[in-house]
Structure 1
Amino acid sequence: MDTLTPDPTDMRSVLGHFCTGVAVLTGIDHGEPVGMTVQSLVSASLEPPLVLVCPQRTSISWPRIARGGVFCANVLGAGQHELGLQFARSGGDKFAGVSWHSSDTGAPVLDDVLAHVDCRIHAVHEAGDHLLVLGRVVGLAAEGRSGPLLFYRGGFGALAS
């Protein structure tokens, strides 16, 4: 590591001061729902409509989602931190006890989420220990019944009322 490259622990600590939302990416792999929690969901372009997500290259769930060529980004609301944790775990049935329905692409839309963005995978680029995934938006909706679930300095939170 050169002297101009920060330590990964410092990167995590400093960038942890940037608050993000929390989303669950979902897809279908061989008829089975698959999902994972992400902090990165960015509107990348309005024309054409693109979003950016950044799964870790070591993710076990991402290759299963990618195989289907589509994903749905389910934006979690303030009271849904347990749902975020459930999909962040490795292994097991992440959909146990979770109600959902299929989007137009077939990807799972989790019931009662704040919003969802249904996408076809447009491009995937390698970026260090993560992938930059551009999704072409084909459908989206927002319920807006609550504020967002936030992630800040290693923990979940919500906007103050």
Structure 2
Amino acid sequence: MNISSPRADSREFDTPHFRQALSQFATGVTVITTRLADGSFRGLTASSFNSVSLDPPLVLWSLANGANSLPIFTGNSHYVINVLNAGQAHLAKLFSSRGEDPWASAEYELSRTGQPILKGAVAWFECHNRSRYPEGDHVIFVGEVEHCEFSPQAPLVFHGGGFRSLG
């Protein structure tokens, strides 16, 4: 069931101010990875990750409507959400840039379904691509977690426009 309300009054809304306010919320940093039918890998950096439900085990993340990788993640049945550790800011930058192939230098192993899992991640969640919801200028992906692992260590955090650690 989709419950929505009429749009808010945003005639005088200040988008840059909104963006600055959002930057005050510290988030973890993830790299979402998947394997294509031809065997190649794709990945992207995302800080929009949240738990949704324990039963069934659901998580969510979002991707901009204009992202080149939107058709890839919309069409694939599985993906892995890799939560980066405090020493992996280079991976966050690598997977968010358009130049260099991140898979040339990223260390990874394969999940049970053949999805790439980044080595050293604080946690990872192998998900079935359960549902997608277009909302605003993004698509919200809900994944049903089929398998997950974690390694207690300091996470990479994004706050105030930059990477931080909780060390």
Q: TM-score range by the shorter chain?
A: over 0.9
Q: 1:53 aligns with which of 58, 61, 64?
A: 61
Q: 1:115 to 1:100 in 2, by over 3 A?
A: same
My pick for the range that moved more, 130-139 or 104-113, is 104-113
Which 4+ runs in 1 deviate beyond 6 A?
Answer: none
Correspondence for 1:6: 13
Counterpart of 1:147 in structure 2 is: 154
> 114, 119, 123: which is aligned to 1:111?
119
2:15 is the counterpart of 1:15: no
8 Å contact kept, 2:74–2:132: no
The equivalences for 1:67-78 within 5 A come to 67-78=75-86
Q: 2:103 aligns with which of 95, 100, 103?
A: 95
Q: CA deviation at 1:91?
A: 4.9
Residue 133 of structure 2 is aligned to residue 125 of structure 1: yes
TM norm structure 1:
0.92
How far apart, CA to CA, are the structure 1 residues paired with 2:22 and 2:102? 28
Distance in 1 (alpha carbons) for counterparts of 2:144 and 2:12:
33
Name the stretch that deviates more: 122-131 or 56-65: 56-65
Q: 1:67 deviation in Å? A: 2.2
CA root-mean-square deviation:
1.7
> Identity over aligned residues, as a percent?
34
Structure 1: give runs of 5+ residues left out of the alignment: none
1:65 shift after superposition: 3.0
Report the Cα distance in structure 2 between the residues aligned to 1:64 and 1:131, rounded to whole angstroms: 13
Report the TM-score when normalising by structure 2.
0.89
When structure 1 is superposed on structure 2, of 75-84 and 91-100 the one drifting more is 91-100
Aligned residue number for residue 39 of structure 2: 31
